[in-house]
Each structure stands twice: as structure tokens, then as C-alpha cells.
Amino acid sequence: MINPNDPTLKSWIAVDKDSDFPIQNLPFGIFKREGKLPRAGIAIGDYVVDLAEAALTGYFRELHVNLQIFEHNHLNPVIGMGKEKCRMLRQIISELLRHDNPELRDRPDIQKRVIHHRSSVEMLLPVRIGDYTDFYSSIDHATNIGKMLRDPDNALLPNWKHLPVAYHGRASSICVSGHNFHRPKGQMKPPDADQPVFGPTKALDFELETAFIIGTPTQMGDSVTTSAADQFIFGMVLFNDWSARDIQAWEYVPLGPFLAKNFASTISPWIITLDALEPFRVEGYTQSPAVLPYLHYTGNRNLDIQLEVIIQPEKGEPTCVTRSNYRYMYWTMEQQLAHHTVNGCNIQVGDMMASGTISGPTPESFGSMMELTWRGSKPLKLKDGSERKYIDNGDTVIIRGHAEKNGVRIGFGECKATVLPAKN
Amino acid sequence: MINPNDPTLKSWIAVDKDSDFPIQNLPFGIFKREGKLPRAGIAIGDYVVDLAEAALTGYFRELHVNLQIFEHNHLNPVIGMGKEKCRMLRQIISELLRHDNPELRDRPDIQKRVIHHRSSVEMLLPVRIGDYTDFYSSIDHATNIGKMLRDPDNALLPNWKHLPVAYHGRASSICVSGHNFHRPKGQMKPPDADQPVFGPTKALDFELETAFIIGTPTQMGDSVTTSAADQFIFGMVLFNDWSARDIQAWEYVPLGPFLAKNFASTISPWIITLDALEPFRVEGYTQSPAVLPYLHYTGNRNLDIQLEVIIQPEKGEPTCVTRSNYRYMYWTMEQQLAHHTVNGCNIQVGDMMASGTISGPTPESFGSMMELTWRGSKPLKLKDGSERKYIDNGDTVIIRGHAEKNGVRIGFGECKATVLPAKN
């Protein structure tokens, strides 16, 4: 078998060299064609491979699975096949699409059923998310927030370097890219006011994050070690953890963020498998002081994924407001998952665990408006001449991400949403 | 139609006067008989009415629903019928069970299929919980915690009386009564230590809570008013929000409790409908300062529900360690739901929202060991002569609750679990 990550592989489907989805990627998603039911698909270039039709054609015989798993409105039953079968599935698709394989290439009749142009499909939320956890694992982000909200000289709290701090978030309001939402309303207490007031947030922010999706469940009482963690992670998406900073500041003590976050979150539609990202492993952040043994790990467990955020005003040209990288993460995904389960907390297929805002060390790489404008004190100038302290109504915020090496670009597609005015 | 809450109603099924489940209650649950698939049921006395068999017998014709909704391993499709149809269903069962109705009473052949003794069934988790939220709405609890952990003279934080503070919790580890769990392990930092240590928690606590279950969903962007909130709430259960206090103290700043809570939570198996609890409405806590308009409400919106917690050591006799009451809640369920959705956060059928620890004003009515022993400084003496600062391995913690008026006792059954030793 050929390695599906081999940079020399080419497909008989023409793929633009700037495409996020070359044959080395093959991410999983749920798509819907007009008048049809949702189905599982795999992206290649500008096309989607219809996994339900591919299954009916007989391409997946060797998987020995119930072929109806590809006909749900979420990927959970596909991912739930387990890491080995998902790997086989990606391998089968990789082989089918290879430039020198005539099996599907020379059968336009079958292609008509199995291959759709992506412009003809709508992408849906890829997984049914059971529980969603948000970590807080970027040291530059945690330091920036600590400097602004607490003590500039002791920005990191005492626990931060000993454990990957995290909290539970709301799963119901996680939407796929393209799902717009209304500016949230809520309680906030202006610094000069005696009493809280109610109204639309005046400090709507994005948070540049990624998230990983659980592919293998555990039972209550079980723990996942850092060395086994990869086997429990199916893949990654881009994630915008929308935040209302004024609501957050007033509500979050002592139990953490609640209404400041749970009104909407946005994820990108294609899940990039951890397998496709394997060539982009890099050394992790040097952790000092040393972590407790259950958080030890070996090898290059970080990932070099370039990330950027674009603000597109309603009528103005888009401006890239930050460029960051996943490698700025202090804690690895494996450490996050080991920590999450060390107390016996069970995980389920489709659970989502987000990185927390990924900020780099320089002001141009900060992952939120709160950091980029230093709490509004240094507004950002956009290309259309307008200024932003936070996000305006009508603004579309787009997160993009990709890894690149040896001429192969593994991209994430887009994670975008437009802010609509508050409802009356 | 007769009011199913009428205190004079009697059933042809003999119900002990101390039973939690008289004909005025009729709570919903999921049960399983040996060798059979899970089904929806309604409790009466020592029996359960098999709703799937009742449906097959034709009793639910007037509901005009797909009868397979009673054959799932969770109540979501039943609850999802909506409040009006659930009300009709309870009414139909109430009529079927009335002492003067021969329809089922005089048909032992049908009874054999439709009525099972509760000792012959296993109770399962009643709902598939999408998202779980935990409030913090007892003023005595919040004051006690504030006194112990922060400032005795300013125990309540500034936001506490302005909004019902809450956080998101983990849904996957919520189990039905009777599901035991292992003592969780985790990081903690002893007060005299420089560095955190790892091991089984030394401060495992219960939290005496109730929870309500959402019966009607909303769309993202919609809000539920306090006056409409009841229409979105199906019913209530008892809830034990198990907590590891030493893990919590180290991890919870700044984003709230995480591993200290998500290892296990326990709920009682029968959902008591809000309709059955309506006769027990009482005046709410006097809220001062006045709350913002979206939190205003009128009428008697609190509930008089007596609550107690029993510790049953592995080999000793049980001791009731606290007696509290739901009426000590500062914030009503309607206010909690209005707050939760005021930012447009959507809710789904089966979502669970817990009260937070319900403590009363006196030390005998505190809702957690942390409060009862004042952080371990005043150990509790149990009837078997042993002492407890927190919960020991082998201890079973049982929460019970009931409302009582005009000779009618609407009970919740039991919410119990035993603490097993930490896993190696």
C-alpha cells in the first residue's frame, strides 16, 4: 500500500496548487445536495466524494461495515468505526483518486453519482457533538489576559503551568461555517456604573482556535495516557469561540464564562484527520517547571499549522488582522486529553475539545480583538479605512488555517460567520 | 375531565400512604426488564406502567403520535411531543388507574403485559442529556462558600444578586441512581506544599441539588421569558453533583470547576412533571436589590420540596446528615431559564439544568459536606460512631425529596450511588 501522505501523489481530479484539499488531505464532512438527504463526504480539490454512493458502488467491501453509516446527518457512526477503519477508508479513497488508477477515473457513469462539485452542495455540522470542552492552552494568550485583567507582573495564575486549564462549554450552539447569528444581549456592568445594565454586547470578539474531535470512546473510570491519546482523536477543525467581553467580565466570577460564550460558536465543515497532519509534527513548547508524570510525553507532538483571521466588513474589503500558528500551544492535544480523563471522566465519539485562543508572542499574532486592540485601547485600522475595537454588525469573521511542507498544503477550508444586529 | 392532581383521587392499584408515587404523581422514566429492550414507563406505587404496551393496547389513540416513541432508551421523543401531549398522556394514565375505571382494572390479561412490579425492572438514565448547566442559586450555599474561600464580610460576589450565576458541566458522566463510581484522582496542591501532587481526592463531597429537564426546544437567537418558561420545562429530578474539593480548589481559577466535577454526577430515575408539583408552589425569595426587567416574575414561583441526604457506610447504619428544602432557592427555575436564553442560547429537549447546592439558613440544612463540616473543621458524627469530614470509600450517599400537602405526597424516589476505591 502507498502512504496516502506521500507528497508525490497526484489525482486524476485536477487540484489547484493553492487548494486546501489535495489528495494528501482527504478530510471528512457532511454535505447536502438540493432535495436530497445529508450524507458523508470526503473533499478533494473543488469536489466532494459521496461516501454513500461510493459505498453502494461497492468500493468499501473490505471495510465490513454497515453501509448506512454514510447516510446520517452527522459523521459519528463513520468516526465510530474506529481509527483503523477510518484510516482504511481514507486509504481506499486515496487509491481510487490516484492519477494512475482507472477504476473510477475511466467510469464517467459512476463519477456522475459519486463525485459532486462542491459549489453544488451545502456543508452541514460534521458531527453530533456530545460534550464540548474549551482549553486555555496558549501561554501568550493566557499571559495577555492575565496582564489586562489581573496583575501585569504575575499574569499567569499559579496552576497554569501545572495543568491544561479548561472549562465545559455549550454544545447546542456550535454551528457550521456560514451560519450567521444575532449579536447577543445580556447583563454587563460598565466600570463607572453602580448597577448592571442590559443590552446588546458592546464588545463582541472572536477567538482564533482549533478543536479536535474524539473518535474512540472510553468508559467512566478509564483514563487515556498521553502515549495512547492519538488513538482517541479522529481529527481537527478550525473553531471560532465567539465571546462577549463585557458580559464575560461581569458574569465569570467565580464559576467561569457562561452567557458570554454560549450564544454561538463556529466550526469549519471539514474534519482534517490527524493522519493527514502527521507530516507537520514539530517539537512541543519547552515546559518548565516539569509537569507531573501523567502529563509527560515524548517525541514531536506539536503541529505547525498556520492560522489567520480576516475581518470582512459588510461593504468594505477584507483585512487580515492576525497571523498565528498552532505551534504556539504550550500544552499538546495528548496532554489535554490525558488531563481531561485522568479523573475517570468518560469521552464519547463526537466530543469536541478546543484549544483555547491561540496567540503568538508578537502583537501581530494575537488571537482575539481584546488582545489585538489591548482591550480597545489601540483600535485596529482596516483596509477600508474604518476602525475596530471589537466586531461590528455586518462584519464577517473568517478563520483560515493550513500546514505546508514539501510542496503539500493541507488546509482546513474556512470557518466564517457574519454578525447580524441584535434581535428586538 | 378530572384534575389528575385532585387529592381525593384513588387508584385500583394499592399505594402505600408513604409511597413517593401515588396516582397524583405519575412520573416518567425508562425501565428495562430482563432480556427486553428499554421502554418508557410511568410509576404508580410499587408498579410501573409500560407505556409501550399501553400504546399497543390502544390507550393512546387520541394522542395521534408515532407509538414507537415509547420504545427508545431515553424519554426525549416522549417529552418532545410537547407539554400539551405529555399532559394528555398523564391524564390518560390517571384515568386508566382510577379506582372506579374498569377498563384496565378488570382486565388481568392486559395488566400482565402493561403493569410490572418495580422490583422486576431496572431503571435507566431517563433522558439523553444534550447540554447540562449547573446554577448556583442558593443564597445560603453561595454565602457559606464565600465565607470559607473568600471574605467572611463580603461573602457574596457583586454579581450574585443580579443574575443567576451558572456554568456548563459535563453531560457524559451523568448517571442514573445506583450507578457507582471510583474515587477520582487528580492534581491538588496541599496548602503547605510548593508543588502540586497527584493522587485520589481526599475531599470527595456530595452536593444536594435538583435539576429540571427541558421539554420544548428553542432556536438560536430566541429567548424564553420568565412568564413562558414553565412551558419549556418538562419536570424535575434529584441530582447529586459529586465534587472533589481539593481538585476544585487548585484548578478552578479562572475558568471554573472542571475535573473536580466531571467524573460523575447522579440523578434520580423518575422525572416528576412540573404539573404534579403545581400544588406545592410557594412564594419566592424576596429579591433585593430589584432584578433587571428580564428577570421579573409574578406569582408564587418557588416550590416547597423537602430534601434530605443520608450517608450509609459500607457496614454501618444510615445517618441523615442534612434536611433542606427547595424553597431556600433565591432564583426560580423561570428566572434561570430566562437568563440562560436571554443571549439567544438555544435549548434542546433533554437538556438538564441543575439548581446548584441547596442549603438552608441553619447548619443542619447545609447541602454539602464542605458546609456541614465547615471545610473539615467540624467532622460529622454518624450513627455507627464513625466520623466524616468528607465521603469515604464504601459510603453510599442517598438523596431523597418529596412535597406534601392535603394528604398527598409527591416524591422523587432515590438518587443514590456508592463510592468505590480509586482505580489503580
Q: Are A250 and A149 in contact (CB under 8 A)?
A: no
Q: Do A165 and B255 touch (CB under 8 A)?
A: yes
Q: Are B261 and B186 in contact (CB under 8 A)?
A: no
Residue A103, min C-alpha distance to chain B (Å): 43
SS3 A382: coil
A418 inside 8 A of chain B by CB:
no
Bond from prior residue into B254 cis (ω within 30 degrees of 0): yes
Q: Give the pLDDT band (50/70/90) at residue A424.
A: confident
| Cα A14–chain centre separation | 27
SS3 A240: strand
Helix (H), strand (E), coil (C) string for chain B: CCCCCCCCCCECCCCCCCCCCCCCCCCEEEEEECCCCCEEEEEECCEEEEHHHHHHCCCCHHHCCCHHHHHCCCCHHHHCCCHHHHHHHHHHHHHHHECCCHHHHCCHHHHHHHEEEHHHEEEECCCCCCCEEEECCEHHHHHHHHHHHCCHHHCCCCCCCCCCCEEEECCCCEEECCCCEECCEEEECCCCCCCCEEEECCCEECEEEEEEEECCCCCCCCCCCCCCHHHHEEEEEEEECCEEHHHHHHHCCCCCCCCCCCCCEEECCCEEEHHHHHHHEECCCCCCCCCCHHHCCCCCCEECCEEEEEEECCCCCCEEEEEEEHHHECCCHHHHHHHHHCCCCCCCCCCEEECCCCCCCCHHHCCEHHHHCCCCCCCEECCCCCEECCCCCCCEEEEEEEEEECCEEEEEEEEEEEEECCCC
CATH architecture of the domain with residue range B132-420: Alpha-Beta Complex (3.90)
ipTM exceeding cut-off 0.95 for this assembly: yes
pLDDT in tens, B284-315: 999 999 999 999 999 999 999 999 999 999 99
SS3 A30: strand
Q: Angle at the Cα of A156 (from A151 to A159), degrees rounded to 5?
A: 130
Is it the case that residue A1 has pLDDT exceeding 90? no
pLDDT of amino acid A155 = 95
pLDDT in tens, A335-394: 999 999 999 999 999 999 999 999 999 999 999 999 999 999 999 999 999 999 999 999
- Maximum C-alpha span of chain B: 74
In whole angstroms, what is the distance from residue B375 CA to residue B369 CA? Answer: 8
Q: Give the pLDDT band (50/70/90) at residue A330.
A: very high
For residue B86, the one-letter residue type is C
Q: Which grid cell sits at A117?
A: 462539485
In whole angstroms, what is the distance from residue A130 CA to residue B40 CA? Answer: 23
Under DSSP, the state recorded for A97 is: H
Residue A241, min C-alpha distance to chain B (Å): 14
Q: Do A247 and B343 touch (CB under 8 A)?
A: yes
Tell me the residue length of chain B.
424
pLDDT in tens, A140-197: 999 999 999 889 999 999 999 999 999 999 999 999 999 999 999 999 999 899 999 9
- Give me the residue label for grid cell 458524627: B381
SS3 A272: strand
Could you tell me where in chain A the CATH 3.90.850.10 domains are found?
A: 132-420
Q: How many CB atoms lie within 10 A of CB B212?
A: 24
Tell me the residue length of chain A.
424
| Residues in chain B closer than 8 A to A170 (CB atoms) | 131, 168, 345
- Give me the residue label for grid cell 484510516: A87
Q: Are B244 and B184 in contact (CB under 8 A)?
A: yes
Q: Do B171 and A131 touch (CB under 8 A)?
A: yes
Residues of chain B with pLDDT under 70: none
Q: Do A165 and B251 touch (CB under 8 A)?
A: yes
Could you tell me where in chain B the CATH 2.30.30.230 domains are found?
A: 28-124
Q: Which CATH superfamily is domain B28-124 in?
A: Fumarylacetoacetase, N-terminal domain (2.30.30.230)
Up-side HSE of residue A312: CA atoms within 13 Å toward CB? 9
Q: Which grid cell sits at B251?
A: 484548578
In whole angstroms, what is the distance from residue B47 CA to residue B31 CA? Answer: 11
Scanning A242-281 for CB atoms below 8 A from B yields: 244, 247, 250-259, 262-264
Q: Which grid cell sits at A156?
A: 499567569
Q: Do B220 and A181 touch (CB under 8 A)?
A: yes
Taking CA–CA distances from B184, the nearest residue in chain A reads A343
| Cα B370–chain centre separation | 20
Up-side HSE of residue A129: CA atoms within 13 Å toward CB? 27
Q: Do A130 and B255 touch (CB under 8 A)?
A: no
Q: Do A256 and B251 touch (CB under 8 A)?
A: no
| Residues in chain B closer than 8 A to A172 (CB atoms) | 130-131, 345-348, 351
Burial class (CB in 10 A: 0-12, 13-18, 19+), B410: buried
User: Average pLDDT for residues A85-93, to the nearest whole number?
Assistant: 98
Q: Are B45 and B19 in contact (CB under 8 A)?
A: yes
Output Rg (C-alpha) for chain A, integer angstroms: 22
In whole angstroms, what is the distance from residue B194 CA to residue A408 CA? Answer: 47
Q: How many CB atoms lie within 10 A of CB A404?
A: 13
Up-side HSE of residue B301: CA atoms within 13 Å toward CB? 21
A193 inside 8 A of chain B by CB:
no
pLDDT in tens, A210-245: 999 999 999 999 999 999 999 999 999 999 999 999
| Residues in chain B closer than 8 A to A340 (CB atoms) | 259
pLDDT of amino acid A226 = 98
Bond from prior residue into A254 cis (ω within 30 degrees of 0): yes
> Percent of chain A, pLDDT > 70?
100
Q: Do A259 and B189 touch (CB under 8 A)?
A: no
Nearest Cα residue to B208 out of B50, B327, B369: B369
Best mutation target among A125, A255, A339, A393 (most B Cβ atoms within 10 Å) is A255
pLDDT in tens, A111-135: 999 999 999 999 999 999 999 999 9
Q: Do A159 and B196 touch (CB under 8 A)?
A: yes
In whole angstroms, what is the distance from residue A44 CA to residue A270 CA? Answer: 11
Q: Please state whether A359 falls in left (phi above 0), alpha (psi between -120 and 50) or beta.
A: beta
Q: Which grid cell sits at A34?
A: 438540493
| Residues in chain B closer than 8 A to A346 (CB atoms) | 172-173
Q: Angle at the Cα of A34 (from A30 to A40), degrees rounded to 5?
A: 20
Q: Do A172 and B252 touch (CB under 8 A)?
A: no
| Active-site option among A74, A141, A339, A402 | A141
A348 inside 8 A of chain B by CB:
yes
Up-side HSE of residue B34: CA atoms within 13 Å toward CB? 4
| Residues in chain A closer than 8 A to B167 (CB atoms) | 167-168, 255-256, 258
| Backbone phi, psi, residue A81, to 5° | -60, -25
Q: Which grid cell sits at B100?
A: 372506579
Cα–Cα distance list, B255 to A254, B158, B251 (Å): 8, 18, 8
Active site residues of B: 141
Residues of A218-235 as b/e, b for ≥16 C-beta within 10 angstroms? bebbebbebeebbebbbb
> Percent of chain A, pLDDT > 90?
99
Which of B163, B168, B197 is the closest to A170 by Cβ?
Answer: B168
Nearest Cα residue to A172 out of A131, A209, A212: A131
SS3 A409: strand
In whole angstroms, what is the distance from residue B198 CA to residue B263 CA? Answer: 16
Q: Which grid cell sits at B50?
A: 409500560
DSSP letter string over A128-185?
--S-EEEE--BHHHHHHHHHHHS-GGG-S-TTTTTS--EEEE-STTEEETT--EEPPE
Scanning A204-243 for CB atoms below 8 A from B yields: 220-221
| Residues in chain A closer than 8 A to B165 (CB atoms) | 251, 254-255, 258
In whole angstroms, what is the distance from residue B191 CA to residue B132 CA? Answer: 32
Which of A136, A255, A264 is the closest to B220 by Cβ?
Answer: A264
Q: Do A189 and B159 touch (CB under 8 A)?
A: yes
Number of H helices, E strands in chain A: 10, 26
Which of B257, B264, B345 is the closest to A263 by Cβ?
Answer: B345
In whole angstroms, what is the distance from residue A50 CA to residue A43 CA? Answer: 9
Q: Do B167 and A256 touch (CB under 8 A)?
A: yes
**Cα torsion through B400, B405, B407, B409, rounded to 10:** -20
B169 inside 8 A of chain A by CB:
yes
B185 inside 8 A of chain A by CB:
yes
Q: Give the pLDDT band (50/70/90) at residue A2.
A: confident
Nearest Cα residue to B205 out of B148, B159, B152: B148
User: Average pLDDT for residues A62-90, to the nearest whole number?
Assistant: 97
Q: Which grid cell sits at B220?
A: 438560536
Taking CA–CA distances from B255, the nearest residue in chain A reads A256
